[in-house]
Structure 1
Amino acid sequence: MAEGALPGLRSLRSRSARFLLDHGAAARSGLAWEHVSSGQSPEVSGRWSAVYFDRDSYQVWQEGTSLPPFAASLHARTVVFDPPYFDLHQAPSVRGVTNWGAHDAGVPYSGRPVELTAEIHARFGAYPARDCMYDVVWPSQDRTRELGDLLVRATEVRARAACWLLKERCPDWDLGLLVAGELHSAIEALWHGIDPTHPLHSLPSAAAAADGLRNVYRATDALVADLVSAFPDANVVAFAMGGMGANRSDVASMVLLSELLYRNAFRRPLLRSKESWANAPRGIPLLDCESDWLHDVKPLISPHLTPRDLARRLIPRKVRRILRRNRYGTAPDSVGVLRLPLDWMPTRYYQPYWHAMRFFALPSFYDGRVRINLAGRESEGMISAADYDAVCDEVESLVGQCRDLRTGESVVDHVERCRGRDPLKLGPTESDLVIVWRGAALGFEHPGIGRIGPLPYRRTGGHTGPYGMAYLAGDGIAAGDYGVRSSFDVVPTIVELLGEKLPQELGGQSLQVSAQDLRG
C-alpha cells in the first residue's frame, strides 16, 4: 500500500476509522471465520479447534460448524457470498452461496434459493483454484507460478460474481457479507517469496512466489475498489481477523511432536530418518520439483509394527489389554455438519498407539496440542487426576528440552495449560497443553531421546502475524487510527451499524463507530 500498488484499499483507508485487531488465544483455534459467522467466541461455543477427539474410541476428525450464523437472528435482509463456517441451513432468511471457493469452508456447498448455485456455475463457472488452493508448491517454480495465476483469476471471478449477486440477482439487501479467501491461500503457499529472512527465499520458486502474492494482493485491491464503487451509499467494514506471516508450526505440530511423545513412551522410533535430508545443506531438506510433501514423509513412518506387535515386544502383560483393535478409522457419519478425515496429516498415523500412551499429540493445523490420557475422561485413561499436574509438568519439561536441529535454540516459545479448570470436563475440541513454537523447527534434538528429523517445510506461510485490521467507512464515521481492539468486536460493530440489538451470545462489543464516539 505504501508503494502505491493498492489504490483501492489506500482510498478506503484514507476515509476509514482504522483499528488493529487482536484475536488473542482464540487465534490458535484456527476458527477465525466461525468466530465471524457465528459471532461466538470459543468460551461461548465450546469450540477450541476444528479437530474433534472422541475420548471413547480415540478417533479424530475435522468438523465443520454446527453453530447458527449471527445473521439468523437479525431483521436485516442479508446476502452472503462464500463466508466460511456460515451455515445457510440454520439461517432460513439469508440468501447467498457458501463454499463456492472458500478456504477452509467449514460448511458444504449450498445456496439459497437452491437454484442460485446452478446460476453461479452457469455464469461464472467452477472456482478456478479449487484443485490447487492447498497445494505445497515451493519445490517447483512452474507450479508456484501456476498457483499464483489461478488465485489471481479466482479473485477476479469472485469480484464479478459478488457484484452480480449483490447488484442484480439479490439487490434488496441491508447486509452484504463477502469473503475473499485468495490471500489466505496465497500467503500460506507463497510467503517465502516476499520474506528475505525465510530459509527458502533463495529457491528458484521465490521470484514466482513474490510475483504471485503481489498479484493476488492487487486483484483483491481491485475487488474492494469495485464493490465500494458499485455501492457508494453503503457503509463498509473491511477486515481481517488476524495477521499472517512465516509458518512456524507445520513440521513441528504435524510430525515432530508426535514422534517425540511416541519415543518417550516406547523408547524406539516410529519415524525413520532419511540420509539425504539429515545431510541437507544448511540443515534445510528440500523436495524434488514434482514431489508431494505427504508422499515423501509418509513412508518414513514405519507401518511394520501393529499395536499388538508393539505390545508383545515392549509392554508388560498386565498393560497389554489397553491395546485393543486398531481403531484407525474415518470420520463418523454426520447429518448437516461437514466432517472430514485427517488421513493426510502424519500425526494421524500415531493414533493406533494413543491408547497405550500416557500423553499424545493431537492433529493440529497450528500450535502443538497434547492430550493427557486421563483416567475418568478417556475410556482407557492411564493418568489419575491426582497426577495430572505432575504429568503436565513432565510434558512441558520434555518438549522444553528440545532444541532446533538447525539453530540450536529452544523450539518452544511458551506453553498454555487449562489451569483453574477441571481437566475431567475438557471438551472434545480441547487439549490439555498448547505448545506455541519458537521459530520454524524442521527437526528436534532432545538430550535423552536424540535427533528427530529433519523434514522439509510444508507451507511456507502461516498465521503468525500479531494483528488483524479493520477499516470502517461511511456517513458519520470519523477517519483516523483508533488503536488495538478485540477481533470479536467486528460482528457487534456490524450489528450496531444495522441499527439492531446485539444478540446475547455475541462475543466482544461494538467498536463505537459514531463520529462522536470515535472523537472521544
Structure 2
Amino acid sequence: MSTHRLVAIGIDSPSVCHFEEWLASGRLPNISKIAAAGTKSQYSHVKKFRNERCWTIFQSGSDSESAGATFVPESYSYYHPSLQRDPSPMFYELGEDFRVCAFDMPARLSARVNGVQVSGWGSEFNASLQLSDPPDLLAKLIERHGVDPKAHGAMKVFDVVSSEEEHSYRNPNLYDVDSLRHFACQLEIAVQRRTEICLDLLNRESWDLFLTVFVEGHTANHMFWNAGRPHPFRGAFRVGEDPMMRTIQAIDDGIGKIARSLSDQCTLVVYTIDDTGENLMDLPSMALLPELLYRWNFPDRRALRDAGTSSPVPRLRDDYSDHWKLEVWRQTTDHGRSALRSPQQLEAEGEALNWNPAIWYQGLWPQMSAFALPSVADGHIRINLAGREANGLVDPADFETTLQEVEDMLSELIDPRDGTRVVERCIRVREDPYASCEIPPDLIVCWRRSRPFDTVDSSTLGRVGPLPFFRTGGHKQHGETVTNVLFARGPGLPAGV
C-alpha cells in the first residue's frame, strides 16, 4: 500500500440539499463513514455570471472578474473560453518539492506540477480536449480502463481562439425515457472507470497530493432532476426510480473503494463543488429571450411561431422525439428558417454552442439594438452600442434609456399557464457602457424562482412557446450564495466535529 499525504476527491454539482438528506438517511454509507471519522465543514462563494466560474475560484483560491464568456465587439463573436486554457494560477502548482497527481481536473496542464496530470478524460463541459502529462498517459489509461461512455457519438467542434479540435458530448432527449435510462447506465459505468483509473494512479507511487473529481453528479442533476422531484414535466420514470440518486450512490461506492485503499496516515478530503436544483434558466435564457428580443427589434417579424396571446395554451407535450435543438428548430417560421443559422449548419461548422438557440441569431446581432447572448445561466442581454460594437446602433447617450425600455418589456412578460410574471429582477452590469469590457452582458435577467415555464406572453410581442424543456436540473442564479460541504479525516483531525 502506497502512503499518500493528502487525497482530495470532488463531487461536481450535486444538489447539496438532497446530498445531505441521502447522507442522513444512510443512502451514502461510505461518505457517511468518512464524515463520522473526521471533520465536516462548509465553504461558499457568490454565484456570478456563468456556472463554471466556481472551478476558477476553487482552483485559483480567489474570485475572478471574468464572466466565463467572451464577446468580441469588433466581430460579434461570442464563446466560452476553456478552463483547459485558463492561465490563472492553480493551488496545486507546488513545484519540485511535492509529487502531485491531478486526474481529470477541468484545468490546463502546468509545468509547475511535479507529477502527472490528466484533463479531459470525462469532462462535463460543453467542449473539451484530451490532455495529459506525460503525453502518452491518457491514451494508456484509456487502453487499460476504457473511455468515458459519453464520448461515444460526441460532436466535433473547434475552439474559437486556437481553432483546435475539441469534442462535445450530446445530452439525451429529455422526453425519451429509454435513452435517459441508457444514459444513466453510462454515467454509472463512467463512475466505475473513473474509480479504477484513480486506484491505478494511486498505486503507482506515494503522492503528496492526489486530486480528482467525479463530474457525473453534475450531469445526473441536469438530466434526472424530474425523477421524483417537482417539475412541470415529470417524465415517464417509474415511482421510486431515481437515477440522480443512483449516480451519487455509484460515486459513494467509488469513493469508498478509494478510501479503503488508503493508509491511516493519509488525510482524505471529500468535497462538493457548486450546488444545483430545479432548472429555472435553460429554456427562457437560451430560447425564449432571444426570440423576444428579435421581435422587440423587429415587431413585424417572427423567427419562432406565434399562436397569439388570445389562444388557449396547449397542454404540455411528452412526445418530443428528437434532440432539443432540433425540436426547437422545428418551431421556426418560414422567415425564421431563412433568417437564422440552423443548428445543423452550425454543428457542421464546428460551432461549440450549436445547440443553444441564442447563437442561431448571431448573424442578426449587428442589425439589432439589443440582443440575447448564448448564456447557460441567467438571461444575458447586450446593447449594440455605437462606438463600442462594430455596427453599433444605440447612441451612448441612449444607453440607459434603451436598457430601461428592455426592462419594461421584460417586466410585463406573463406565463400564460398560471398568469404570473416570469422575470424576478434585472441587474444592470455597468453604468458606464465602456467600463468592464471583459464582461459581455449589459443586463442580467433573473427569472422567477417558483416554477419553470415553457411559454411567455407579451402584450406587444405576442406568444413565444410552448417549447420543450432541455434539462430539468440547473444552477443558482447570479448573486445567490452557493454553499458546499467538505468532509476530512486523517491524522490530527477530530472525529465528529
Fold match by TM threshold 0.5: yes
* Aligned residue in 2 for 1:430: 440
2:372 equivalent to 1:351: no
Match of 2:484 in 1: 468
Alpha-carbon shift at residue 19 of structure 1 (Å): 3.0
Amino acid at match of 1:234: C
Deviation at 1:52, TM superposition (A): 2.2
The offset of 1:120, in angstroms, is 0.2
Q: Which residue of 2 aligns with 1:413?
A: 424
**1:136, CA displacement in angstroms?**
3.2
Query: Does the alignment pair 1:67 with 2:87?
Result: yes
Q: Is the 2:56–2:64 contact (alpha carbons within 8 Å) kept by the matching residues of 1?
A: no
Q: TM-score, normalised by structure 2?
A: 0.81
- The alpha-carbon distance between structure 1 residues 89 and 29, as it changes in their structure 2 partners (threshold 3 A), is same
Which residue is 2:324 aligned to? 293
Is residue 30–residue 366 contact of structure 1 (8 Å, CA) maintained in 2?
A: no
User: Do 1:251 and 1:457's aligned partners in 2 also have CA atoms closer than 8 Å?
Assistant: yes
Give the AA of the match of 1:299: R
Alignment partner of 1:71: what SS? coil
Q: 2:274 aligns with which of 229, 242, 263?
A: 242
Give the alignment's TM-score, normalised by structure 1: 0.78
Q: Match of 2:7? A: none
**Contact 2:51-2:475 at 8 Å conserved across structures:** no
Q: How does 1:2-81 map to 2 (within 5 A)?
A: 2-26=24-48, 28-43=50-65, 47-49=66-68, 51-65=69-83, 66-68=86-88, 69-74=90-95, 75-81=97-103
1:417 to partner: Cα distance = 1.9
Q: Which residue of 1 aligns with 2:470?
A: 458
Higher strand share: 2
Structure 1: unaligned runs, 5 residues or longer: 311-327, 334-338, 482-520
TM-fit CA distance, 1:257: 0.4
Residue 173 of structure 2 aligns to which amino acid in structure 1?
V
1:480 shift after superposition: 5.7
Structure 2 residue aligned with 1:506: none
Measure, in 1, the Cα distance between the counterparts of 2:485 and 2:359: 35
1:294 is displaced (CA, Å) by 1.1
1:451-509 superposed Cα distances (whole Å, 9 cap, x missing partner): 1111111101111495322223333334566xxxxxxxxxxxxxxxxxxxxxxxxxxxx
Q: Determine the C-alpha separation between the residues in 1 that align with 2:248 and 2:193.
A: 15
Please show how residues 498-513 of structure 1 align to structure 2 within 5 Å.
none
Q: CA deviation at 1:60?
A: 1.8
Contact map agreement 2:224 2:242 (CA 8 A) in 1 = no
- Which secondary structure does the structure 1 equivalent of 2:43 belong to? strand
Q: Aligned pair in 2 of structure 1 residues 141, 367: CA closer, same or farther (>3 Å)?
A: same
The question of whether the paired residues in 1 share the 8 Å contact of 2:303 and 2:335 is answered with: no
Pairs within 5 Å for 1:101-112:
101-104=122-125, 107-112=128-133
State the shift of 1:274 in Å.
Answer: 7.5
| SS state at 1:63 partner | coil
Tell me which residue corresponds to 2:120.
Answer: 99
Superposition map of 1:112-123 within 5 A: 112-123=133-144
What residue is the counterpart of 2:5 in the other structure? none
SS at match of 2:143: helix
1:133-168, Cα deviation, whole Å (9 max, x unpaired): 642333122112111111111101111111111222
Moved over 6 A (4+): 328-331
SS at match of 1:342: coil
With 110-119 and 61-70 compared, the bigger mean Cα shift is at 61-70
| Distance change (3 Å), C-alpha of 1:27 and 1:219 | farther
Contact 1:242 1:469 in 2 (8 A): no
- 1:367 and 2:378 matched: yes
**1:441 counterpart residue number:** 453
The 3-state SS of whatever aligns with 2:409 is helix
Unaligned runs of 5+ in 2: 1-22, 154-168
SS at match of 1:126: coil
How many percent identity over aligned positions?
29
Give the deviation of 1:347 after TM superposition: 0.6
Query: How many residues are paired up?
Result: 444
Tell whether 2:219 aligns with 1:188.
no
Aligned to 1:224: 255
2: CA distance between counterparts of 1:457 and 1:390? 33
| 8 Å contact kept, 1:30–1:365 | no
| Residue 73 (structure 1) shift | 4.9
Segment of structure 1 superposing worse, 90-99 or 387-396:
90-99
Q: Secondary structure at the match of 2:466?
A: coil
Paired position in structure 1 for 2:398: 387
SS at match of 2:424: strand
**Inter-partner Cα distance in structure 1 for 2:215 and 2:111:** 23
The Cα shift of 1:106 comes to 6.2
1:23 Cα deviation from its structure 2 partner? 2.5
CA distance in structure 1 between the aligned counterparts of 2:337 and 2:189, rounded to whole angstroms: 47
Measured at CA, do residues 129 and 343 of structure 1 come closer, stay the same or move farther in structure 2, by a change above 3 Å? closer
- 1:279 CA displacement: 6.3
Cα distance in structure 2, aligned partners of 1:273 and 1:293: 19
Q: What is the identity, as a one-letter code, of the residue corresponding to 2:82?
A: G
**SS in structure 1 at match of 2:387:** coil
**Matched-pair contact (CA < 8 Å) for 2:103–2:119:** yes
Task: Flag the 1:107–1:392 CA change in 2: closer, same or farther, 3 A.
Answer: same
RMSD: 3.0
1:87 to 77, 100, 108: 108
What residue in structure 2 maps to residue 140 of structure 1? 176
Q: Are the structure 2 counterparts of residues 235 and 423 from structure 1 closer, same or farther at C-alpha, using a change threshold of 3 Å?
A: farther
| Structure 2 counterpart SS, 1:70 | coil
C-alpha distance after superposition, 1:410-450 (max 9, x if no partner):
1112222224x533133345311111111312111112222
Q: Distance in 2 between matches of 1:429 and 1:463?
A: 20
Partners of 1:260 and 1:105 lie apart in 2 by 25
Which residue of 2 is the match for residue 199 of structure 1? 232
Q: Distance in 2 between matches of 1:101 and 1:359?
A: 37
SS in 2 for 1:369: strand
